[in-house]
Structure 1
Amino acid sequence: MTRLLFSAISSLDGYTADADGGFDWAAPSEEVHAFVNDEQRGVGTYLYGRRMYETMRVWQTLGSDPGDVPVIADFGDLWRRADKVVYSSTLGDATTPRTRIETTFDPGAIRALLDSADHDVSIGGPTIATAAFRAGLVDEVQLFLVPVAVGGGTPALPRDLVVPLRLRDERRFADGTVFLRYRVTATAG
């Protein structure tokens, strides 16, 4: 069964970016990056908002140099092989292959995608993910909690929505990052 996965690297106090929009504190160690890569192997399509797409599109070339660190090359390959759907009313054309732009977030279209997909679908970016949570589309939440508190910024999870979760897996890494996998147990509302 195809799942819609929301995965985020977050500060311990729950932010994907700090108050200035920075996220350099979230750079994963090689060990964490290798784990992220393994988690992403089953993803066939990424759903992004404009800002997340603009951040992630560097992977079109990043990791393609023979001298790149193996975990970087591995993720680059995974990212380039996947389809991308970008939800934006301001972005004109996609600048990467296997990418299409949608001007509006349509829960029905995402349900149809999930019904027809043979690989998991990942939704990236807290703003677009909030719309998916509201529509009851998200099946699994994967959080990588980085051992830093940034005091404010872009929240990883919706602030005005109850999302019942059941812990399915956890892992601690040498750098202090903690991975938590949750199954969404009921439709958000």
Structure 2
Amino acid sequence: MGRLVYTTICSLDGYVNDAAGRFDWAAPDSEVHAFVNDLEREVGTYLCGRRLYETMVFWETAPTDGPGDAVTQDYARIWQAADKVVHSRTLESVTSARTRLERGFDPAAAAQLAASSDRDVSIGGPTLAAEALRAGIVDELRLLTVPAVVGGGTPALPDGIRLDLALLDARRFAGGTTYARYAVRRPSPSIPPTG
């Protein structure tokens, strides 16, 4: 059974991009990128919104061998080998292999996909992830926090939700980025008293 996982890179003040929409300050160095590659090897399917897909589709044609950076080539192979589901009401079509377009997000279908998968399902993009978090279907949060305060932008986590989390793993990288992996604690179902 796979897990539904939300992995994101964010600023110390909790944004995935700044008020101008830029995220160049979040570009991982080779140590962090190699670590992310190892996390992403567990992913069989990516669920993403339009904006994230339009950013990530670069990896569809990125080189996977030959001269160049081995870490980025490794990530290109990981992306190209995974299935992708893009949730968008405005995107006309998808341009990557192993990709399908969905017009709406169905939390029950996403939860079932993860439950029936032998690999993890990654939900990406803060807007789509917010829907999954509000629906209570996310199993893990994986937050990579860069040492930057950007003062505004798109929040990594939505307002108005409460999650009880259990820290599973943490790491600090040489460049100052930190990683924290949390399991989402779900309330135990109440058992009716017997009579």
Normalised by the size of structure 2, how large is the TM-score?
Answer: 0.93
Do the aligned partners of 1:88 and 1:102 also contact (CA within 8 Å) in 2? yes
Aligned to 1:19: 19
Q: CA deviation at 1:116?
A: 1.9
1:2–1:115 Cα contact (<8 Å) kept: yes
The 3-state SS of whatever aligns with 1:80 is helix
Counterparts of 1:152 and 1:63, CA distance in 2: 34
**Which runs of no fewer than 5 residues in structure 1 stay unpaired?**
none
Equivalent residue runs for 1:60-139 within 5 Å: 60-64=60-64, 66-139=66-139
Question: Structure 2 stretches of 5 or more lacking a match?
Answer: 188-195
CA distance in 2, matches of 1:71, 1:31: 9
CA deviation profile, 1:40-76 (whole Å, cap 9, x unmatched) = 1110000000000000000011233512201100000
Q: Does 1:2 align with 2:20?
A: no
Q: Measure how far apart 1:158 and its partner are.
A: 1.1
Indicate the SS of the match to 1:174. coil
Q: Secondary structure at the match of 1:104?
A: coil
* Alignment partners' CA distance in 1, 2:45 and 2:96: 14
Q: What residue identity is the alignment partner of 1:5?
A: V
Q: Distance in 2 between matches of 1:64 and 1:39?
A: 18
Distance 1:57 1:37 in 2: 16
Name the SS of the counterpart of 1:97 in structure 2.
coil
1:74 aligned counterpart, secondary structure: helix
Report the aligned-residue RMSD: 1.0
Aligned residue identity for 1:69:
D
The runs of at least 4 aligned residues of structure 1 exceeding 2 Å deviation read none
Secondary structure of 1:55's counterpart equals: helix
Q: Contact 1:6/1:122 (CA < 8 Å) preserved in 2?
A: yes
- Tell me the TM-score normalized by structure 1: 0.96
Q: Which residue matches 2:45?
A: 45
What is the match of residue 192 of structure 2?
Answer: none
CA distance in 2, matches of 1:50, 1:68: 29
Distance 2:63 2:31 in 1: 17
Counterparts of 2:185 and 2:111, CA distance in 1: 18
Give the superposition deviation at 1:108.
Answer: 1.7
Q: Which residue of 2 aligns with 1:167?
A: 167
Q: Assess if the C-alpha contact under 8 Å between 1:63 and 1:69 holds in 2.
A: no
Q: Percent identity?
A: 56
Contact 2:63–2:73 (CA under 8 A) maintained in structure 1? yes
Task: Measure the CA separation in 1 of the matches of 2:39 and 2:115.
Answer: 21
Deviations 1:111-135 (A, max 9, x none): 2212221110001100000000011
Q: Greater shift after overlay, 108-117 or 163-172? A: 108-117
Aligned to 1:159, what secondary structure does the other structure show?
Answer: coil
